[in-house]
Structure 1
Amino acid sequence: MPLVIVALGIIALLVLIMGLKMNTFISLIIVSFGVAIALGMPLDEIVSTIEAGLGGTLGHLALIFGLGAMLGKLIADAGGAQRIAMTLIAKFGEKNIQWAVVVASFIIGVALFFEVGLVLLVPIVFAIARELKVSIMYLGIPMVAALSVTHGFLPPHPGPTVIAGEYGADIGQVLLYGFIIAIPTVILAGPVFTKLARRLVPDAFNKTGDIASLGEQKSFKLEDTPGFGISVFTAMLPVILMSVATIITLLQETMGFADNAALSIIQFIGGASTAMLISLLVAVYTMGLARKIPMRSVMDSCVTAINHIGMMLLIIGGGGAFKQVLIDGGVGDYVAELFSGTTLSPILLAWTIAAILRIALGSATVAALTTAGLVIPLLGASTVNPALVVLATGAGSLIASHVNDAGFWMFKEFFGLSMKETFATWTLLETIISVSGLVFVLMLSMVV
């Protein structure tokens, strides 16, 4: 019965969001109450469970997510993202233009959230395609592949950051292993898949696209943007700080160093929240004050960034509330009992549940959070590194994006595709990322 109740809850969520066009956050809260009652939770505990789920999720995420949004906005508003893209394209040359787009999108994708990165890069890709007389799809597929992979696998993006907190995984390890998995996945889903897509839907590569909905784009003369080196350094600084701390921690565990003040300082600086705060302060200087931009303008960019993510934070909080209802309502324990005698790896289980929920719900972040409510009870009895389960959940939550996902419609409209062409490019691309991610996580689990 608990799984039937969860299934009915997910159907109700779909009806509310897609059928009645209700706001996702409100829908999640309504379904959380309904599922809690149906599971037989005491009425006096339901509100506190929902509050605990919402607060616990946002308490871990809000600081990292908020600082990350500000960092990305400062880099975009200063022209740093444009400098990264244009410099790499010039360096790689016309012959290797796809790889230039992949590298630029990957670097920008680490710093910017998916939708922001897409809106920023689409006009650049269109301009380059016109100049070089190549198909916008030829450059667009590698671009969205890199943005999607960073969104699904790498902190400080919401999915992997939230799930790392829920599973008790080391966020630095998630980042380090995420990079190992992300690079080959981007290659497969980007330049390699483009060749297959051209055969599947050749007409899609003749489309001219339409970005009129983006309005007038803020563009810069290259000489007015920050330098390439400082732009890349600013965008990648949180990754550098967290990676260094993780590598040193792993070395300490391997070689048996005793704890000391220096290691404590490194681990403090490399913590996700501290690393994001330091990176933001560096960006305020490198992308603002050093370029004679007034502090008021720099802070205006930060305020705009927070305004844009307000509803997204609430939706993530709503997903956390639903997750907590599943745990406190006993669904997680029920799933743990079902799989208690199985040899199925938590990695495979997490990926499968996240994939099913992603197809049903559309939102990668909500699918990942709901998966956490079902998988957390299994982790206690498992020896699998929780960082790998985080990445498997992230991979599952990306699969088969279709009509209930905003990314599907953004890609379709920007590139002027038919429904069939969008399924054969965007939906298939997301599925390749998901399955490749799972395969690489399983391979990595044999080593770590």
Structure 2
Amino acid sequence: MPLVVVGISVLVLLFLMTKLRLNGFASLLLVAVGVALVRGIPVADIPDVLSKGIGGQIGDTMLTIGLGAMVGRVMGDSGAAQRIAAKLLAVCGPRWVQVAMVLTATLIGVTMFYEVAFVIIVPIAFTLVRVTRSKLLWVGLPMSIALSTMHSFLPPHPGPTAVAATFHASVGLTLFYGLFIAVPAGAFIALVWPRLPFVRAMNPSVPTGLVSDRTFEEEEMPSAAWSLSVALLPVVLIAGAAVTDMVTSADTPVMHFINFVGSAPIALLLTLLVAIWAFGPRIGRSLEEVSASCRGAAQAMAMILLVIGAGGAFKQVLVNGGISDYIKQATSGWSVSPIILAWLIAVILRVALGSATVAVVTASGVALPLVAGSGIHAEVMVLAVSCGSIAFSHVNDPGFWMFKEYFNLSVIDAIKVRTTYTTVLAILGLGGVLAMERVLDVLNL
């Protein structure tokens, strides 16, 4: 049974990494090869499948994560990240630092991919940890939870947007309805999870090389205006392109240019160029010093990128091994509420494959025939599939490894934290979707 293979592969991976202490990159590749052999993928094709998985994952994330890490390190080494952290503390106070992180992550995460927003905000979180002497998870976890919620629940993120197209749902209405579910659910979990005893017992340190350890004096830091402007530049570029794309379908050179500068890699590249000047020669730092910051960020990112790429290889083996097709066939005859069925299929696919995007696209194909005859609002069905895709993030999810590496957690601790919060978010999302459908029916909308 394909799902048994998935379960055994996860157990083997945990054994390799926790008991044998084998490197995550090597462990993921070994398990991926084993699953490929068991699932009958021809031996001659396995290297290509692994390369496709690694290439697809790294191609999507390397530019984003690499450029984002460089921007963060340049800001950290110049004192700009500390300036932003100080401004947040001045506005909210140390007591409300978690609320500040949730608000920041929610506003930025509405339009930005999880990975992009994560690498932009995490240097500020690291700096706040050092300045307030708080635990890393106390400050960083609310940020990650809020970003996960926005990315998984709402368009214009890729999963929800793809499902909206499949169901012929309004992207604008999906976003509007989804905000009523995503914002309260994300904020609730973001503020509750760091307070749970098993999370408070963890005390990981900030990974070395990703942020400056230096504490700057007031006169050494760039102004708040410059610091915030550079930090928000990619947000403005990416969000501006997303909003423009939502309100117009014009195919003009201007739109092509907006989409170009609003793509995550280009937006971050432009931000890096601005950061190099603004926090380099403009304030008396040499280009050599700024280049050293970029090199330090790249070196610190090397293993993180390798592990994320190997996670993509594992995911690709599961897809090529027919796991998604098996689940699609097995669930096609179930007789349950279309909302619950769509959510449950997305959950099962997410557990088996790891990729939220693959899960939502496949689940939407299974649930599509249910939309027309059910009388359920298409936008609600989009949200049902989307929130199901966040559940049970674990070792076959490349985002899991990014979370683990940035927060310097063991595999077991990362499962305890990330797998649990993503699952509870999915369940809260389902409850919100069912309630939303009921409200729309009562209001006759």
Same fold (TM over 0.5): yes
Establish whether residue 311 from structure 1 lines up as the match of residue 299 from structure 2. no
| Contiguous gaps of at least 5 residues in structure 2 | 110-116, 165-170, 369-377, 441-445
Q: Is the 8 A contact 2:343 2:388 kept in 1?
A: yes
Structure 1 equivalent of residue 251 of structure 2: 259
Residue 11 of structure 1 aligns with an amino acid whose one-letter code is L
Aligned with 2:233 (options 230, 234, 237): 237
Q: CA deviation at 1:335?
A: 1.2
2:119 maps to 1:112: yes
* Residues 1:302 and 2:294 aligned together: yes
Give the corresponding residue for 2:114.
none
Q: 2:129 aligns with which of 113, 117, 122?
A: 122
Residue 184 (structure 1) shift: 3.5
- Following superposition, the deviation at residue 287 of structure 1 comes to 2.4
* Separation (CA, whole Å) in 2 of partners of 1:148 and 1:61: 17
CA–CA separation in structure 2 for the residues paired with 1:319 and 1:213:
20
- In 1, Cα distance between the equivalents of 2:206 and 2:357? 39
In structure 2, distance between residues paired with 1:444 and 1:281 = 44
Equivalent in the alignment of 2:332? 340
Deviations 1:246-292 (A, max 9, x none): 11111115xxxx32221121111111222121122122122223212
Identity %: 30
SS at match of 2:389: helix
Taking a change above 3 Å as real, the CA distance of residues 368 and 150 of structure 1, as seen in their structure-2 partners, is farther
Structure 1 residues 56-75: aligned runs within 5 Å:
56-75=56-75
**2:53, 2:312 within 8 Å by CA — same for their partners in 1?**
yes
Contact persistence 2:69–2:297 (CA under 8 A): yes
Partner of 2:373: none
1:225 partnered with 2:221: yes
Assess if the C-alpha contact under 8 Å between 1:335 and 1:374 holds in 2: no
Q: Within 2, Cα distance between the matches of 1:436 and 1:43?
A: 43
Shift of 1:340: 2.2
d(CA) in 2 for partners of 1:331 and 1:289? Answer: 54
Query: What SS does the aligned partner of 1:296 have?
Result: helix
Which deviates further from its counterpart, 68-77 or 90-99? 90-99
CA distance in 1, matches of 2:146, 2:89: 20
In structure 1, distance between residues paired with 2:206 and 2:142: 24
1:331-351 Cα deviation digits (max 9, x unpaired): 111111112234345454334
Displacement of 1:245 in angstroms is 0.9
Q: CA deviation at 1:219?
A: 0.6
Q: TM-score, normalised by structure 1?
A: 0.70
1:285 and 2:277 are equivalent in the alignment: yes
RMSD, aligned α-carbons? 4.7
SS of aligned partner of 1:112? helix
Q: Secondary structure at the match of 2:316?
A: helix
In structure 2, distance between residues paired with 1:2 and 1:192: 36
When residues 16 and 229 of structure 1 are mapped into structure 2, their CA distance, relative to the original with a 3 A threshold, is same
**5+ long unaligned stretches in structure 1:** 127-135, 358-366, 413-418
Closer, same or farther: CA 374–263 of 1 in aligned 2, 3 Å: closer
* 2:140 corresponds to: 144
Alignment of 1:38-437 (within 5 A): 38-92=38-92, 99-100=99-100, 102-103=102-103, 110=117, 112=119, 119-126=126-133, 141=138, 143-149=139-145, 152-153=148-149, 164=158, 180=179, 183-185=183-185, 187-191=187-191, 197=195, 217-253=213-249, 258-342=250-334, 343=338, 344-351=340-347, 354=350, 368-369=354-355, 376-381=361-366, 392-394=388-390, 396-397=392-393, 406=404, 435-436=427-428
| Counterpart residue number, 2:28 | 28
Between the aligned partners of 2:193 and 2:206, the Cα distance in structure 1 is: 27
Contact 1:123-1:211 within 8 A present in 2 as well: no
Deviation (angstroms), 1:227: 1.6
Task: Tell whether the 8 Å contact from 1:62 to 1:313 is kept in structure 2 after alignment.
Answer: yes
- What is the rounded CA distance, in whole Å, between the counterparts of 1:23 and 1:166 in structure 2? 34
Q: Distance in 2 between matches of 1:411 and 1:53?
A: 24
Task: Tell me by how many angstroms 1:152 deviates.
Answer: 2.8
Offset of residue 114 of structure 1: 8.1
The answer to whether residue 25 in structure 2 is matched with residue 18 in structure 1 is no
Q: Does 1:8 align with 2:13?
A: no
Q: Distance in 1 between matches of 2:237 and 2:392?
A: 28
Q: Decide whether the 8 Å contact of 2:70 with 2:298 is kept in 1.
A: yes
CA shift in 2, pair 1:252/1:349, >3 Å: same
Number of residue-to-residue matches in the alignment: 393
Q: Which residue of 1 aligns with 2:167?
A: none
Partner in structure 1 of residue 443 of structure 2: none
Whether the 8 Å contact between 1:346 and 1:375 is mirrored in structure 2 is no
Asked if the contact 1:268–1:274 (Cα under 8 Å) also holds between the matched residues in 2, the reply is yes
Return the alpha-carbon distance in structure 2 between the equivalents of residues 317 and 227 of structure 1: 38
Please report how far the alpha carbon of residue 445 of structure 1 lies from its aligned counterpart in structure 2 after TM superposition. Answer: 9.6
Query: Which letter does structure 1 place at the counterpart of 2:226?
Result: I
Partner residue, 1:129: none
